[in-house]
C-alpha cells in the first residue's frame, strides 16, 4: 500500500525561495522486491521502475495504485522513456548463442496494453530519441524514423549534444569532456537542455548549445518544472557509495536546496509537474509533492 510518511506539511526555507514539501509518501503498493530507476510520466500520474539489474519494466499507476508489467526482458528497465503520457519506449538486451548482446527497441501502448518491436534485434547501441512530436529509434546498424521528424528533441553521442528543432539537427560541444556526455533532457517548455559532462557535472544550455549555467558535479538531472531540476549528489570510495542525497537546483544556478540528507542513501531521482520520486540504495521508492514560492 501507499503509506504517508508525514501527517502535515513541512516548510523549508533557503534564500529568497521557499520550498514546501506538501507530502512525502512511501510507494509500496503492488511492488515486490527492489524498485530502481524510476521514471515519472510527464503528468506525474504514472511511474516506470525496474529492479537493480534493469531486468523487466513495470509501471505503477499513482491514482489506482496498481502495477502493470510492461516487459520481463533483461535491459528493459534501463533508460525507459515516456513518449507522451500513453506510450513507453524501451530497449531490451539479450545475450545470444554467439555470446553477443542483441538489443531490440520496443514501444508499449498503454491504451491497448501491447508491446511492439520497432526493429529486429541488432548488436551494438540502440536508443530512442523522444521529441515533442514523435519518436525515432537509432541503432548501430539499422534505425527507424527520422530524428528531424521528432519536433524538438535532444540526445548525446560521445562528447556531443545533438539538438533537433524545426526539422534541423545540430551537434554541439558546449564544454570539453573526454569521457562524454550523459542524461540529456529537454525542459518541459522545450527551451532549455540539461545534461551531464563527465568532467564538469550538470550543464544547462539553450537550444543553440550556449551554456546558461554550470550547476555542479551531480548526476541524473531531471526537470521538476521549467525552472528547477532535481539531481543525485553522491560520493563513493572507489568501490561503493559512501553518501547519496537528492538536491533541488534552480536551472540558472542561483539556488540549491537539499531534499534529503547525505546519509539517507537516496538516489536516481525523477521529476515532473511538481512531483519528485527517488529510490534508496536498497530499492525503496519515495514520492514528494513540492511547492516553490518566492
Q: Which pLDDT score, from 0 to 100, does residue 11 have?
A: 37
Beta-carbon contacts of 99 under 8 Å, excluding residues fewer than 6 positions away, are none
Q: Which pLDDT score, from 0 to 100, does residue 30 have?
A: 85
Nearest to 259 by CA among 272, 276, 241: 276
Report d(CA 73, CA 80) in Å as an integer.
Answer: 12
Split at pLDDT 50, 70, 90, the class of 89 is very high
Class in CATH terms, 2-71+150-287: mainly beta
Q: Which pLDDT score, from 0 to 100, does residue 84 have?
A: 87
Q: What pTM was estimated for this model as a whole?
A: 0.92
Q: Between residues 264 and 238, which one has the greater pLDDT?
A: 264
| Residue at grid coordinates 506539511 | 9
Q: Is the distance from CB of 155 to CB of 143 less than 8 angstroms?
A: no
Split at pLDDT 50, 70, 90, the class of 219 is very high
Q: Between residues 74 and 5, which one has the greater pLDDT?
A: 74
Beta-carbon contacts of 59 under 8 Å, excluding residues fewer than 6 positions away, are 46, 47, 48, 49, 67, 68, 70, 88, 110
pLDDT above 90 covers a percentage of the chain that reads 91
- 3-class secondary structure for 98-131? CCCEEEEEEEEECCCCEEEECCCCEECCEEEEEC
pLDDT at 14 over 90: no
pLDDT tens digit sequence for 114-140: 999 999 999 999 999 999 999 999 999
Q: Which pLDDT score, from 0 to 100, does residue 125 have?
A: 94
pLDDT tens digit sequence for 169-204: 999 999 999 999 999 999 999 999 999 999 999 999
| Residue at grid coordinates 528497465 | 77
pLDDT at 159 over 60: yes
Q: Which pLDDT score, from 0 to 100, does residue 8 have?
A: 35
Q: What is the mean pLDDT of the chain?
A: 93
Nearest to 249 by CA among 279, 271, 278: 271
Query: How large is the average pLDDT for residues 145-162?
Result: 96
Report d(CA 74, CA 95) in Å as an integer.
Answer: 9
pLDDT tens digit sequence for 240-260: 999 999 999 999 999 999 999
Sign of the CA dihedral running 51, 55, 145, 210: positive
pLDDT at 16 over 80: no
Amino acid at each position: 500500500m501507499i503509506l504517508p510518511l508525514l501527517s502535515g506539511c513541512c516548510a523549508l526555507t533557503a534564500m529568497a525561495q521557499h520550498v514546501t514539501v506538501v507530502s512525502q509518501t512511501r510507494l509500496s503498493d503492488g511492488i515486490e522486491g527492489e524498485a530502481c530507476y524510476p521514471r515519472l510520466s510527464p503528468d506525474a500520474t504514472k511511474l516506470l521502475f525496474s529492479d537493480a539489474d534493469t531486468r523487466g519494466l513495470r509501471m505503477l499507476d499513482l491514482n489506482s495504485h496498481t502495477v502493470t508489467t510492461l516487459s520481463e526482458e533483461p535491459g528493459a528497465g534501463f533508460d525507459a522513456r515516456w513518449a507522451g503520457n500513453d506510450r513507453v519506449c524501451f530497449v531490451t538486451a539479450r545475450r545470444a548463442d554467439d555470446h553477443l548482446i542483441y538489443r531490440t527497441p520496443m514501444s508499449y501502448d498503454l491504451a491497448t496494453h501491447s508491446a511492439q518491436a520497432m526493429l529486429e534485434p541488432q548488436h551494438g547501441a540502440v536508443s530512442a530519441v523522444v521529441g515533442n512530436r514523435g519518436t525515432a529509434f537509432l541503432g548501430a546498424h539499422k534505425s527507424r524514423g527520422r530524428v528531424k521528424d521528432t519536433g524538438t528533441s535532444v540526445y548525446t553521442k560521445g562528447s556531443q549534444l545533438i539538438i533537433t528543432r524545426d526539422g534541423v539537427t545540430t551537434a554541439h560541444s558546449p564544454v570539453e569532456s573526454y569521457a562524454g556526455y550523459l542524461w540529456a533532457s529537454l525542459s518541459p517548455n522545450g527551451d532549455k537542455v540539461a545534461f551531464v559532462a563527465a568532467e564538469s557535472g550538470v550543464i544547462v544550455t539553450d537550444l543553440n548549445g550556449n551554456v546558461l549555467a554550470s550547476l555542479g558535479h551531480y548526476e541524473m538531472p531531471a526537470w521538476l518544472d521549467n525552472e528547477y531540476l532535481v539531481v543525485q549528489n553522491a560520493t563513493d570510495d572507489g568501490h561503493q557509495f559512501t553518501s547519496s542525497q537528492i538536491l533541488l537546483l534552480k536551472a540558472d544556478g542561483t539556488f540549491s536546496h537539499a531534499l534529503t540528507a547525505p546519509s539517507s542513501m537516496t538516489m536516481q531521482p525523477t521529476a515532473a509537474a511538481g512531483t519528485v520520486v527517488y529510490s534508496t540504495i536498497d530499492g525503496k521508492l519515495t514520492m514528494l509533492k513540492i511547492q516553490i514560492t518566492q
